[in-house]
Structures are given as C-alpha cells and as structure tokens.
Amino acid sequence: MFHHSKDLQFNARVSRPDPVFANILLEQFGGENGELAAAMQYFTQAFGAKQPHPDKYDMLMDIATEEFSHLEIVGATIQMLLKGINGELKDAADASEIMQVLDGNAAKENIIHSALTANPHFVMLSSGGPRLANSQGIPWCASYIHSNGDLTVDLRSNLASESRAKLVYEHLMKFTDDPYVKETLSFLMTREVAHYKMFEAALDTIQPNFPPGVLQADPRFTQQYFNLSPENSFEGPWNTGEMPGMGKDWELIEDPITFVKVTDGLTDLPDRKAEETEETEALNIKMSEEKSAEVKSSEPEGIAQWSEYSNEI
Amino acid sequence: MFHHSKDLQFNARVSRPDPVFANILLEQFGGENGELAAAMQYFTQAFGAKQPHPDKYDMLMDIATEEFSHLEIVGATIQMLLKGINGELKDAADASEIMQVLDGNAAKENIIHSALTANPHFVMLSSGGPRLANSQGIPWCASYIHSNGDLTVDLRSNLASESRAKLVYEHLMKFTDDPYVKETLSFLMTREVAHYKMFEAALDTIQPNFPPGVLQADPRFTQQYFNLSPENSFEGPWNTGEMPGMGKDWELIEDPITFVKVTDGLTDLPDRKAEETEETEALNIKMSEEKSAEVKSSEPEGIAQWSEYSNEI
Amino acid sequence: MFHHSKDLQFNARVSRPDPVFANILLEQFGGENGELAAAMQYFTQAFGAKQPHPDKYDMLMDIATEEFSHLEIVGATIQMLLKGINGELKDAADASEIMQVLDGNAAKENIIHSALTANPHFVMLSSGGPRLANSQGIPWCASYIHSNGDLTVDLRSNLASESRAKLVYEHLMKFTDDPYVKETLSFLMTREVAHYKMFEAALDTIQPNFPPGVLQADPRFTQQYFNLSPENSFEGPWNTGEMPGMGKDWELIEDPITFVKVTDGLTDLPDRKAEETEETEALNIKMSEEKSAEVKSSEPEGIAQWSEYSNEI
Amino acid sequence: MFHHSKDLQFNARVSRPDPVFANILLEQFGGENGELAAAMQYFTQAFGAKQPHPDKYDMLMDIATEEFSHLEIVGATIQMLLKGINGELKDAADASEIMQVLDGNAAKENIIHSALTANPHFVMLSSGGPRLANSQGIPWCASYIHSNGDLTVDLRSNLASESRAKLVYEHLMKFTDDPYVKETLSFLMTREVAHYKMFEAALDTIQPNFPPGVLQADPRFTQQYFNLSPENSFEGPWNTGEMPGMGKDWELIEDPITFVKVTDGLTDLPDRKAEETEETEALNIKMSEEKSAEVKSSEPEGIAQWSEYSNEI
Amino acid sequence: MFHHSKDLQFNARVSRPDPVFANILLEQFGGENGELAAAMQYFTQAFGAKQPHPDKYDMLMDIATEEFSHLEIVGATIQMLLKGINGELKDAADASEIMQVLDGNAAKENIIHSALTANPHFVMLSSGGPRLANSQGIPWCASYIHSNGDLTVDLRSNLASESRAKLVYEHLMKFTDDPYVKETLSFLMTREVAHYKMFEAALDTIQPNFPPGVLQADPRFTQQYFNLSPENSFEGPWNTGEMPGMGKDWELIEDPITFVKVTDGLTDLPDRKAEETEETEALNIKMSEEKSAEVKSSEPEGIAQWSEYSNEI
Amino acid sequence: MFHHSKDLQFNARVSRPDPVFANILLEQFGGENGELAAAMQYFTQAFGAKQPHPDKYDMLMDIATEEFSHLEIVGATIQMLLKGINGELKDAADASEIMQVLDGNAAKENIIHSALTANPHFVMLSSGGPRLANSQGIPWCASYIHSNGDLTVDLRSNLASESRAKLVYEHLMKFTDDPYVKETLSFLMTREVAHYKMFEAALDTIQPNFPPGVLQADPRFTQQYFNLSPENSFEGPWNTGEMPGMGKDWELIEDPITFVKVTDGLTDLPDRKAEETEETEALNIKMSEEKSAEVKSSEPEGIAQWSEYSNEI
C-alpha cells in the first residue's frame, strides 16, 4: 500500500521558465532510462522476490518507492519550467494580438512560442505540464523495463539501468545554468550511483551468482572467441589469456569460416571435453535442486495470502 | 514523496494457482484500462492542478495513490495465481521427465504447461510473475492516459476511465470461481464506482464547466444534426427537440449532400446568427479573462518552489 | 457501405502556406484526440450496438461518418498549408542553388526549409502531404480508441473524447491568424460540442445508466474516501457529505494505514452491511436478467445476415 | 465528404458463431494488410494527387471508399461470428453456474469459453465485437501504410499491398467451412485482384515511370551484382545477361571483398562512365523541370480552396 | 553465418559536421524505408525460400547482405556528421562556460547546440552517434517489413520497398551540399534501382505469377469498378476498356448504391458466369497441386538439417 | 562490409516439426532479449567506439557479427520446426477436406492446426516461417537496445543483456525434448556466457570505470539509504556497514518523512561535506579533461573518412 506526502524528497526549485530544458528533462520523466522506468522495474521485480528473498523484496520496494518520489521531483521541475503556458492558453479569445507562428515576427514573442518550438505537445496536449513521454514525444512504454524472475539476472539489469540513468543526468546538467535545477539534477544523479552500490552489494550476497540463472555453460562452447571481423584485429583480455574468474583460457579462432567447416558446424570439435561435460551436468543437477528447493520451500501450502493480516484463512 | 507499507490495502488471497486467470487479470495490471493507467493519469494531471486548484490536487493525489495501491493488489494476486512456476523453471536440469509440449501427452501435465498455454511470457520472460503488459502481451503504453491541463476536460476523461475499468472488473468476475479472488475483484470494481462519484462531485464544483475549456461553441454550427447514414433513420433526443441544457433546438439536416452544396460548404447558411455570434464573442473574452487570471494569479513571482519548505529562497 | 462526395462538408480554405501550423494541425489528423480517432471509435462501437439498439447504431454511424468527413477537411487543410513543397522536391536536380541546412545562410530561404524544421517527414516521407501521425511524428495507433460493447460505458468514453478534441481545437486556434483557417477550426471545434450533446442525450435515454455495466457497487466498499496524501488536505463534496445521487454519505478515512491494519485489510469492517449486500445481489440478478435478455432477444436465430436484403436465407 | 448506406456492399452472412475464426479474421480488420490499412493508404495518397493528377485522385478516392466499405463487411462478419458473447457477459450475476476456466471441466462449455481462448480481448475489452487490432491483439498502427507523395512510388506500394491482402484472404479461406463466410471472403479476395489491375493500369499511364521519382540511376553503380553470399551461388536473369529494360548488362562481382579493396571503396572504378554520367545529369535536369512544372503549374495562385464551391474567395 | 570486413562497401567521407543532416539521414538508418528495413525484409524472406527456390534464396541473401553493408555506410556517415559531440559531452565539468539553451545567446554557440536542436537524443541518449530510430525519434519497428512466404507476393513487396527507398535518397540529396556525402547518397540511391531490377527479373522467372498466391480471382467480382466518389469522375484504363492482361473488359458501375440494392448485395448478379467459375475452380485445383507439390517435394523426409555439413544425421 | 557464408555457425538440426516450440523460440528471434537485439546493440555501440577505442570497436564488431550469425541459426531452426505449413497453405483449393477450426473434430488434425493455435501469424502472415516478432506477436522494436556512447555504460548494458539472454535459453530448454534442438540451444546459451566474460574483461581494462560516465557522485547525497517501505525491514550490506569499494559507510535513514522535513528537503543536511565536495569538483575537472581529450584527440582534423582506403582525400 502506498502513501504520499506532499513534501518532495528534495526541495526542487526553478529560477525561471525554460521550455527547451523542460523538454529534454522529459527524458527522465517518460523516457527509457527515466524515473518511471526505474520505479516500475524494481516494483515489478519485487513481486517475484517476496517469498524466497524477503530481504531483497524489502530493498527493491525501498528503492522503487524512492524512484516514484524522484519521478515526482522531475515532474514538478518540468511543471515549474513551463510556468506561464497554461495561463496563456486559457487566454483563448486573444484576438487582438494574433500570433504569427510562421515568420516569427510576432509582437508577442513569448514563452508560448518557446514551448511550441521545443515540444508541440506542451501547447497542444499537456497545456504546459509534463507528458509521460520522452523528449521526442514517444509515449513511455513498458518494453523499457526488465523483470525476469531471477535475482542474479534482475540485479544485473538494475546495475545497467542505474548506469544509463546516471549518464543521462550527467548530460542534462550541461544544458542548464539554473543553479537550483543543477542542484536537483546533482541530487538525482547521485542517487543513481547510490542505488548502483546497493544492487551491487545485494548481488554479492547471492553465491554463486555466475552464470546467471541455474545452468552452467556447456564446456564445449565456452572458450572460443570467433574473430568474425578479422582485419586490423586487436588482442586483449577478452580474447587472449585467461577468462576472468573461469580458470580457463580463451581460444582465439582466427579463421572462423574454416574452423566451422572442418568441425562440421562445431559438432565435431577436436577436444570433446567429455569429463568436463559430465561435471557440468552434475553441477546442473545440484544447482537445480538447490535453487528450485529455495523457491518451492518458501511458498506456503494451501491458500495464499500476500500480507500478514492476522485473520485466519 | 511516496511511502510504502507492506500491508496491502485489501487482504488479497488466492485459493489455488490459475495461470489462465492470471493472464486475463494482467489486463488490469498492464492493460489500457488497468490500475497503472489510472494511477499515472491522475498523477500526471495533478501537476497542472496544484497551483490554481490545490483542493483538486489533493483529491487527485489521494486517488492516484490509491490506484498505485490497487496496482500492487493486482500484481500480488497474479503472483499468487502463478505459484509453482518459478520453482519449476529453476529445476532446469530436469532431464529425465522430458516435457512434450506439442502433443500434450506428457506425464508431467502440470502448472508450467498451463502457464505456457495461457501466456508464453509467464515461462519465458517473467518466470511466473506479472508483466507490465495486457492479456495479449502488449507492453503498457502511456498513450493509454489522458492529461490535458484543464480540469473540465481531465475530470471528464476520468469519468470515462473509471467506467471502463469498472466494466473490465465486472467481466473478470465471470471467469473465476475462487471466492477470495472474487472478493478482491469486488473490492476493486467498487472502488472504481466510488472514484467515479468523487470525480463527478469535483467537476460539479467548477461552474460553468460546459463547454469544456474556455471558448463557447460557434452559434452557426451548433445545432445541426447531419443525417449522414440516412436509411432506416431514427429520431431521438439527440437529433430532435431541445438540445439538453442549451436552450436551443436540434436542427435535423435530412439531406446533408444537398444542404452542403446549397450553402457553399456551410459558409452561406440561411441564418447567420449575427447577434448570437456577438454574444458568444463577448462571453469568450469574459471567460478568457477569468480562467486565465485564475491560473496566472496563482503562480508565484520569481523563483518557483514546489514544496512548502521553510528555508528562504 | 460508404460513398464519397468530392465537396468537403465545410468549405476549407487557406490564405498562404504555413508548415509550422500544418505540423501542429497533424494532431487532429493522426493524433490521439483527432478526427480519425473519433471516427474509428464510433464506427467500431456501432457494430455491437446494431442489434439491441438500432437507434443508437444509427446515431453512431451518422456521427462516425461526419468525423470521417472532418478527417478529410483536416487533411485538405494540411495539404493546402504545405503548398509548394511537393513541387520543390520534384526539382531534384537543383544543383546550382545548393541549400545549406546547417547554418541557415542559404540564399533559398524558402518553404522547404520551414517544412524541414517543422517536421522532417514533410520533406523526407510525405513530400508535402499529411501523414497519419501526430505533431511529433508518432504514427496513429488504435490504442487511442475505446470501444467496450456497453453503451453506458461507450457513450461516457465519447463524452470524454469530444471534450478533449474540443480543447485541442481551442488551443490550435491560438496559433494561426489566417481567417479562413480560423473559421474552419471554429466549425470543427463547434461540432465536437454538438456531438457531446448528442451523446449526452443518448446516454440519458438509457435508464438506469449508473453504475456503468450491469453490476452494482459492493456496499461494503462504496463510501470510503482514503486520505492517502494526508497533509494540507481539503474537504469537498468528493469526500464529505452526501455522495451525489447515491443516497449515502462519504466516509472519510483520515488515517488509512491504521484503518487498513485494524480491519485486517478491509476484510473485517465495523459495519458489514449485510442487508444492503443482499439487496445488491438481488438487484444484480435482476439487472443481469434484463440486460442479458435485451441483447439475446435481439439476436436472430439461425443464419445471421447484416443487411436487410430481401433474398431468402 | 462521406456518406453511409446501411446496406453492405456485399450481403455478408454467417451460419453459426466461430470465435476462433473471428479472431483470425481480425487480421483483415485491424491487421497490417487489412482493409483499414488499404483504405487509409489510398485516402492519404489522394490528398497529394488531387491537383496535379485529378484523374488519379478520383480513382484513389473510389478505391479508398470501397476499402472502407470492405472494412465494414469484415467488421460485420466478425460481429456475427461472435454472436452470443455480449449477451453472456451481461449475465453478470451468474453465480450458480460458475465457470472453471482452469481445467475446462465446466458444465457450461460454451461460446464464451471459446472466445476467451481465441482472444481474451473478446471477453475483457470488446465484449464480443471487433477490435481495431490484429489476430494477436496488436492495435492497428499507421506505420502499416505508405504514402510518399509521388505516384510512381505510391502506385507500386499499392500493387504490393493488394498482393499481400489477396494472399491473406486466400489463407483465411482454408480455416472456415461456412459457405456464407467463404463467399464473402471470395468476394473480398477478388476485389484485391481487381484493385491490383486498376493500379497497374494507372501506373502505366505515367511515362516514364522508372526509375520511380525524378532522378536517374548513377551509371557508375547501376550494373554491379555483388555476390556477397558466395557459396552455392546461382546465376539467373537477376545477375547475368541483360538488365530488364535497361539496355545494359549485369556485371557480376564474384569476389566483392577484393573488388572493393582494389577500387578504393568503389571510388576508383575501372570504367568511370564519363559520357553516360553527363547524359544522366542532363536527363535529371530535364525530368526535374518537367515533373516540377507539372506540380507547380497545377497549384493555384493566392488563396487555396479545396472544393469547387461557387462563392468568390 | 556472417563475416565482417572493416572496409566499407563504399568509401564514405564527410567534409564537416552537420547535425541537422545527420538527423534526417537517420531516416535511412532506423526509418521505415531505411537500410535495416530492407536488410531484415530480405533476410526474413530468405528462410522460406531456401528449400523450394535455392536460386532465389541465394539472391535474397546476396541483397540482404548488401543492405546490411549499406546500413553500416549510413551509420558511419551519421557518426562522422556528428563529430565533436561525444567529446563535448565528456567535458562534463564545464562550469565556466555555461550554456544558455533558452535564449540562444550563449558564447559557446557550437556543434552541441545544433545537435540538441536537430535531435535531443543526439545529446541525451546516443552521445553523438546513430540511434536505431527515424528522423523523429521513433524506434525502428519490425512492422515496417513484409515477409509472407510466397515469392509472387514477397518480390512485389520488394519492388515497392526499393521504390520508396530510392525516393527518400532522392529527397535527402537536396539537403546537403557536401560533395562527399552527395556521392555516397548517389551510390546508395542507385543501388536501390539496381536491386529493383534484380527483383523484377526474379519475379519474371516465376510463371504464372498473377494473381499472386495460388487462387484465381472469382469471375463474378473481378471486372466491376465501383464509382464510389461519383462527382467529377474520370475515365481511364483503370475503369474503362480492357483490363490489362486479363482478356476481359472493365465494367464501370456508375451508381453503386442502386446496383448493390438491386443485386441483393451482389449476390444476385445479372451474369452469374457459371462457366467461368467452373474453369476457375479447375484452375485453382491445378495450381494448388503444382504449387503445393513444389514446396512439399523440396522438403526432406526425417530429420531436417539446414547446412550441408557432411556428418551423417 | 558484411559477407555471408551459407554454412551456419552451428549445425542446426530438427527431428520433427513442433509449431508450439517454434512460437516460443521466436522470443530469441524477434524478442526483447533475442539475437537481433544483441546484434543491433553491439553494432550500434561500435560506431561511437571506433575512433577512441579501436580495440573495443574490433571486439564489438566480432560479437555483433556472431549475434547476427546466431539470429540466422534461430531463424533456420524455427523454419525447420514449421516444416509442412507452407506446403499445406499452398494447397489452397482444398475443398473436399474442409477444416473445422471451431470444434477441433476435423479429420485433418494436422500441423496446420497446431500452427494456428500456437501463433495465428504462422498461417496468416508468415506462411510457416519466422516473423520478426516475439512469442506473443509483438514486432521487434529498437527500444529494446541500449547504446549510449560511453563504454563504461555500454559494457554494463551488455552484461545485463547477456544475462537475460542466457536465462531465456535456459528456460527454452525445458520445453523441447528434441536432442538436436536442445544441443543448438545449449550452444547458443553458452555463447551468451562467453560474451558476458568478454564484456567483463573489456570493462576491466578501462580504469577508473566507476561511477560510469565522467562525473563523481555528489558527496552530500551518496551514502543515504531511505527506508521508504519501513515495516518488516531487513539490514544487509546494501544499507548497513561499508559501501562496497567506496571507502564510506551507508547511512540508514530509518524515518525518511521526518528526515526530509527537518532537512528542508535535504537542502539543510547536518554534515555539508564541504571538503569532500571540493575534492569531488577537482576530480570532475580532471576526469573531464582526460576523457574529453581522449575522444577529441582521436578525431582527425578536416575531412573524415571511415575506412582506410589509400586514396588521398
């Protein structure tokens, strides 16, 4: 159950209207790396986490709720950056001071023209408020969020999401010189860094967490690096030497076309790794048992109830 | 700023898993008339309402927050209806009891098969949790919501939204016989009715509220009913007699093709309504002044601050 | 079956090209509140209305057909506002007078540059004609329309749609000073008001029409107003006093967190309203019978035929 | 201006309800190759065609109007195929005969279950009517249509659209054995073939119509066929012998990697075709003049008016 | 299996940055008629073509691979047109030379401002690189492509696609005066013409290829031209005289409303064409047998293997 | 420039048709975590990486090209799983053995019915081939991919993408018992693990790589953990003790509502961290200079050329 306090988490202020900046700030209101995307991602992940991992559920709901609160800060800032537009639009009978949009020579070269240029929807659809869309007018879409029912995957999705959101705030800060807005952005950007560290710490408490999910990598296909763009190639720790944390070496396939042909499409590899394959299968069974039991044992028998209300069921 | 309490607003319970119903219930989680759509619609409308209409802002935030809480109830119910799937999927090495998806004759005719049939994403993407999508897998999209910066319009959008959401819950109740789920749906359906009445009452406090917006209808074009599908036509209060609450009569154009031709595309109407047009223009100016002043006077001069923090700005 | 007359319903004219206005006018051609959205909404609703409510079917088809005719007016206006672009683009070998888009210092500072700035698709994709997209280039999408197979719901959706469309035309009128275009917009805006009144009158002929659909509200959950954003709260007819037209009083829950806890998630409410619940159930059965019979009895037995052709079937 | 006659263009009939077929038939109501897509494609193309090519405008509007009429036929057929669902849903208090969706053992194994399985939206959202979506629930979207402001391109888009629509009807006919439905589909499929021939004939009246648009192909890059998937290659008239209707031969580049390297990325081709390039440039200038003049000369000076109303402007 | 060579197929160069042109060039990177659309269309079509038509499979993969290579050229050109932006954005602490986006009076009137105006995502999301979106920011979407599993249809879709892509390049060439960019565009435009000819030649090798698909047109409904927009009508080879290549004459229905009524919705046509119908049915059976056998006989019995690897299966 | 070899990278085989599995496998052809998403993500990222980081460019193109090759493997497998459908559909005149879709009692209970049930588009649109859509028919969309022009962000996006893709393959393996298909899936799943390790190693070569981007976290807002879902809370390394790798401790805000109020919306924090803020600003300037110089110095002056062709420019 959610509650709302009319005080913002951060005291957002704006020195003067700026429709151009309001428009690009939409990116963090209704954009792919914005606050709604973050809030809905963690909120949706939390449902699956609740029973097997109540501690992670608690963390996901804490952070999701903070992201909703950030969404409100961003929306409030956009609304303040568009001050004046709603009032102008309500002056609907303004017949004497006709605006000339085409040639821009109008006497009334004002906030409403800036808004129209920055984002036609500010004057046509939202009447000077935030829209749940990005800076190019694309409505927010749930395909922006990732929630896959496995914390070793979901927490990694979150590390990536926080990284992207941080970068967008960093870029946004270049396009305003309003010290109040800059301070709000600095707060929001920093919280993405803090959340990153929370998710990193949480992922570290799950061991093993690699490979993500349950199954191990198939030893026959783990080590090859296929040099499929072969000219001007570089060597680096991603194709040469030891695979990080895997206890194996990379196997650089210099000429993949030939290699694939001679191995009959990788089905006739020189080293069939029979022993490793057996070990992998045993590990798969062990991991399956453990991970599956972890979930199943946390689910109550019989009628399910979400909250801990006292009434008998 | 939002806060979260781990207790649901309503004590949602589920007797037994039911992936088919979980799938159709997605309609109210990530669908066009669902709880996120309602929550985001009122939340987005609230930004513009805050300064000129703090009472409506308060109401919109109260209801938006309740809708977020309903979203949580729906998500929790879906999660409970999918009990067992996540655990089955983590049993990833399950090599001995191979499933035969094609012919359905498998020994293991279980929950995971039901889920796959009901919604492939339950087993491929969400691993047994809610997705922010509708019952056909379409990701939730912000084009579902309406927020236009004018309460005489926004509140009418809300009356329509609540009507649709109520109807979907009514239909959902036909497809479950789980008494706990039915009770939850009855609660959710009823709250849509309650919200409808709240919005109706709020709209009534704004006078005049018709036509929505500021400008009056152009008297030359208000009364005609164009009979454009002319066979087997019916008369009713929508084309005959008095226009409701307008003090005018409908003017039924039986043969629009001819009427349009002889009036040179309605530019040469028999009754030019010169007097009424003048009155309308005067009323437009008056309404513009009032409505515009209402907004402009509520906006503070100088630096804008959203919350009422005490520090000087 | 549709027919087309080459004369527009309104004699649309344009004084001079204006790509900026053409672009924002797209909002009513291919936007969420535009003419196609209205036309398709009523057209789609009409299918379900035909048999039980042939009078409403007639009205929906009359208005849908008018909206198609308005779509044509809007498209024609956009085309006229873009006069010159198609011809310029066909001058494809124009090698001597190269355009410098970047710095804008080109000698040929003409209509095609205005179009490019207003909407790149005017020069890249539509070659100077209307696109079925909104003013930010988002293609028209059927998730804009609402058609739910119940007139008490559909007609309310239509009241909201007409309200929004009216507001957009009001805003559009501020951005042109072409008297011909203004007159066309005044016509189109006014027709939205007229349609609003038609739908209102039609809804009023269906009694009872509240709650929308068939089922009554559950008396246990109808009256509460949850004060979920509790600071600086306001009282109004939406949370205090009588619920409009319901013969009941609002019940303002000042502290929802506590209330929910002590009522075990609203399952242990102080007043269980047993008698009212019984009455409601009886009413539900009565309404179900009536509404269901209304539809079923209107459907012919045996082979279905849509039109009233005379041939035996 | 559009008009509507309540008689369908074809006397659509249905022997018995069939929700499964209703669902796949949605493909031609709200799908990418369906009737709305066709109608909107030709309708949108018509705006640009009106002045320079009034004969093609007439044809496009004739066919667009027929496609709207086909959309109505498809919608009516879907509605008839779903007979019974709306009535069942209105029987909302149906408490005694609870449906068991999960295991399908319900006594009431009826039309509404078939509908739910075929398309959840038939029971949740449309209540037994057509939705403007395809057979998988994707809302119709204007990115399905092509309208590019040049008849040599638009008519080719139409040939492709008619071909796809014809094929879908052909496939649909395999999935019904209702002779009335089959007859309707046969009519609709055949009309796509007829329209194909209309567009083909119209394209043929424009000479030259190849290359589409105005500019000629650059002679340096016209003839090469790059054999980029080189194994098991085939020769055919698409890479060997004469290019159809071009008076040139294909130039098959057997080893594109080497060819590109030795020609410095095709900038140092052996045959620079200086003479042909000059001719091409001359032809470009000539075509530009003609095509551009054709459009420009058809546009009236001064105030633009769409229809031929008699009033002076 | 794909391979990549770091050399572009064409030596793309750029004289100077130009964010405005970079933005409109996105149309061919991530737009509906762009290179990814072409590549994915032919690539997807190729799967179905492989077994019955290995020669067409070879051609489709050759051209698909060329289109991927063109996608790379377009992306590289956009990246070069945005030179400077990524470096500017990384200068994130740039506190002294604050940019004033609103009034544009900033001292630093540079590339980054041009980019922001041209496309906010260049500075917010892509940091100065190409996005897989069109010039209005709409993400690329697979509903742009057509792949229907029948070469008589697919090749026609390709003729239309190439026509549209050619036209967009023609338009793009008007908006740059950079000779290097113009040359690259000339190369890309010309290749669309070359591909058109390849597809045309391939379609011609399939006989008969009309009507597309298998079934013949129903002789009862093939010849009528419905004059549904009857005023100011034109006659042309699309409604008068012989249908091209069909050996039949058009039948112009001057008054479709009456015609439909007197024929009972076309079910009681004067000429029932019994003989032709019989011939058509015979031809349908013959074509079905041939076309079906062509596909079925090309599919191997038993285990399917895609590539021609030598290992026994 | 791309090239294609007709041999698949892995020798994909299929024992027998299985439309149900073909449909869920679409998830990795045209779904959000599928092979096209991976290929396009790395391909798009590569453009920005090319000049400052040619080694990472090489790696990104190697892996992107492998993902395109995997897309081909998945498409080929789907095509083989749908064997028989295309041939059946071409048997279009099949009049004697009518299919009864509704009740499923048809004599011809065959592959085509399975396909229709699994995915209507297999029989309506793709005629038995892969569609660029996910398992619920949603067309692939570029909003699935992340490319942000900063390797410290992009490589983290890739770690998350590979994690999700790995999990989907793990789930897919539960739904087939065809040993050939299982082997292909095991190959594809394992390659995601291998790619994960490549991206991890590459990220590690960039130091420092945290925070992602250029700017440091604002020391005033870095350490707080807001306990916004306060009941049944847990402590863990994500809110208690040391922040991983930051040399600072978490600061757990137990009662955020009060904390925010007393700090005036966090603008009046007890510890203003003046010294740390100064250090951070110095570090921001240093990092900006370094990162910016790294990019700018790698960009050539004057005319830009993508490939290393020898011709003078």
- Using one digit for the tens of pLDDT, what is the confidence trace for E204-231? 999 999 999 999 999 999 999 999 999 8
pLDDT at position B94 is 64
In a domain, D264, yes or no: yes
Confidence category of residue A95, pLDDT binned at 50, 70, 90: low
In a domain, F279, yes or no: yes
Q: Judge whether B106 and F20 are in contact, CB under 8 Å.
A: no
Q: For residue E104, give the nearest of E120, E91, E116 by alpha carbon.
A: E116
In our burial notation (b when 16+ CB lie closer than 10 A, e otherwise), range E15-35 reads bbbbbbbbbbbbbbbbbbbbb
pLDDT at position C311 is 61
At position A133, the amino acid (one-letter code) is: A
Considering only B110-119, C134-143, D212-221, which range has the smallest mean pLDDT? B110-119
**C145 & C196 share domain:** yes
| Greater pLDDT, F92 or D181 | D181
Q: Do B217 and C189 lie within an 8 Å CB cutoff?
A: yes
Contacts of E116 in chain A (CB under 8 A): 20, 24, 175
pLDDT at position F36 is 98
Q: Do F238 and A157 lie within an 8 Å CB cutoff?
A: no
pLDDT at position B306 is 95
Considering only A207-216, B105-114, B295-304, which range has the smallest mean pLDDT? B105-114
Confidence category of residue C271, pLDDT binned at 50, 70, 90: confident
pLDDT at position F102 is 40
CATH code, F80: 1.20.1260.10
In a domain, C216, yes or no: no
| Mean pLDDT within D231-243 | 95
Confidence category of residue E98, pLDDT binned at 50, 70, 90: very low
Write down how long chain C is.
Answer: 313
Q: Which residue of F has its CA nearest to D256?
A: F3
In a domain, E7, yes or no: no
Average pLDDT, chain D: 93
pLDDT over 60 (residue E101): no
Confidence category of residue A271, pLDDT binned at 50, 70, 90: confident
| Mean pLDDT within B92-108 | 50
**F231 & F199 share domain:** no
pLDDT tens-digit readout, A238-268: 999 999 999 999 999 999 999 999 999 999 9
pLDDT over 50 (residue E107): no
pLDDT at position B109 is 55
**C151 & C264 share domain:** no
pLDDT over 80 (residue C71): yes
pLDDT tens-digit readout, B155-186: 999 999 999 999 999 999 999 999 999 999 99
Domain boundary among B172, B204, B236: B204
Q: Do E136 and C119 lie within an 8 Å CB cutoff?
A: yes
Cα angle D176, D182, D188 (rounded to 5 degrees) comes to 125
Instruction: Choose among C156, C166, C257: nearest Cβ to B159.
Output: C156
- What's the rounded Cα separation, in Å, for the pair A49 and F229? 15
| Contact partners, residue F243, CB within 8 Å, separation at least 6 | A197, A201, F222, F223, F249, F250
pLDDT over 70 (residue B231): yes
pLDDT over 60 (residue D136): yes
pTM: 0.96
**E89 & E176 share domain:** yes
- What's the rounded Cα separation, in Å, for the pair A223 and A212? 17
**D65 & D101 share domain:** yes
In a domain, E312, yes or no: no
Angstroms from F10 CA to nearest CA on chain D: 17
**A108 & A161 share domain:** yes
- What is the token pair recorded at C156? 């309310």
Confidence category of residue A213, pLDDT binned at 50, 70, 90: very high
In a domain, D50, yes or no: yes
pLDDT at position B108 is 45
pLDDT at position E108 is 45
Q: Judge whether F21 and B102 are in contact, CB under 8 Å.
A: yes
| Mean pLDDT within F215-236 | 95
| Mean pLDDT within E228-241 | 95
| Mean pLDDT within E41-67 | 97
Beta strands in F5-86 (DSSP E): 13-14
**A199 & A241 share domain:** no
Q: Do A292 and B91 lie within an 8 Å CB cutoff?
A: yes
At position D207, the amino acid (one-letter code) is: Q
Alpha-helical (H) ranges within E91-150 are 111-118, 120-124
| Mean pLDDT within C252-261 | 96
Q: For residue E111, give the nearest of E100, E102, E123 by alpha carbon.
A: E123
Cβ of C214 under 8 Å from any chain D Cβ? yes
- What is the token pair recorded at C107? 């000698």
Contacts of F175 in chain B (CB under 8 A): 99, 101, 116, 123
Give the number of other Cβ atoms within 10 Å of residue D131's Cβ. 25
- What's the rounded Cα separation, in Å, for the pair C60 and C76? 24
Cβ of F143 under 8 Å from any chain D Cβ? no
In a domain, C36, yes or no: yes
pLDDT at position A310 is 79
Q: Judge whether B129 and A47 are in contact, CB under 8 Å.
A: yes
Q: Do B78 and A47 lie within an 8 Å CB cutoff?
A: yes
Angstroms from A152 CA to nearest CA on chain E: 27
Instruction: Choose among D99, D127, D311: nearest Cβ to B264.
Output: D311
Q: Which residues pair with E4 in a beta bridge?
A: F2
Q: For residue D24, give the nearest of E41, E214, F118 by alpha carbon.
A: F118
Interface test with F, best of B101, B122, B138 (most F CBs within 10 A): B101
pLDDT over 90 (residue D77): yes
Domain total in chain D: 2
| Mean pLDDT within E52-71 | 98
Contacts of C124 in chain E (CB under 8 A): 24, 27, 31, 135, 168, 171-172
Q: Judge whether D85 and D123 are in contact, CB under 8 Å.
A: yes
**F194 & F70 share domain:** yes
Q: For residue F77, give the nearest of B125, A226, E303, A220 by alpha carbon.
A: E303
- What's the rounded Cα separation, in Å, for the pair C295 and C287? 12
Residue-by-residue DSSP string for F65-84? HHHHHHHHHHHHHHHHHTTT
**C257 & C180 share domain:** no
Confidence category of residue E93, pLDDT binned at 50, 70, 90: confident
| Greater pLDDT, F142 or C108 | F142
Q: Do D13 and C308 lie within an 8 Å CB cutoff?
A: no
- Detail the residues of A annotated as belonging to a binding site for Ca(2+): 58, 62, 227, 229
pLDDT at position C102 is 39
pLDDT tens-digit readout, C165-224: 999 999 999 999 999 999 999 999 999 999 999 999 999 999 999 999 999 999 999 999
Chains touching A (3+ CB pairs < 8 Å): B, C, E, F
**C30 & C137 share domain:** yes
In a domain, F209, yes or no: no
Considering only B147-161, E41-55, E109-123, which range has the smallest mean pLDDT? E109-123
- What's the rounded Cα separation, in Å, for the pair B114 and D235? 50
pLDDT at position D300 is 86
pLDDT at position C107 is 37
| Mean pLDDT within C86-103 | 66
Domain boundary among C204, C239, C258: C204
Contacts of B12 in chain C (CB under 8 A): 265
% of chain E beyond a pLDDT of 70: 94
Range of the domain at D195: 19-204
Q: Do E92 and F215 lie within an 8 Å CB cutoff?
A: yes
pLDDT at position D110 is 81
Contacts of B8 in chain C (CB under 8 A): 265
Confidence category of residue D109, pLDDT binned at 50, 70, 90: low
**C231 & C179 share domain:** no
pLDDT at position F109 is 55
DSSP C13: E
Residues 150-169 of A with CB under 8 A from F: 150, 152-153, 156-157, 159-161, 163-164, 166-167
**B61 & B176 share domain:** yes
Instruction: Choose among B119, B125, B311: nearest Cβ to F264.
Output: B311
Cβ of F301 under 8 Å from any chain E Cβ? no
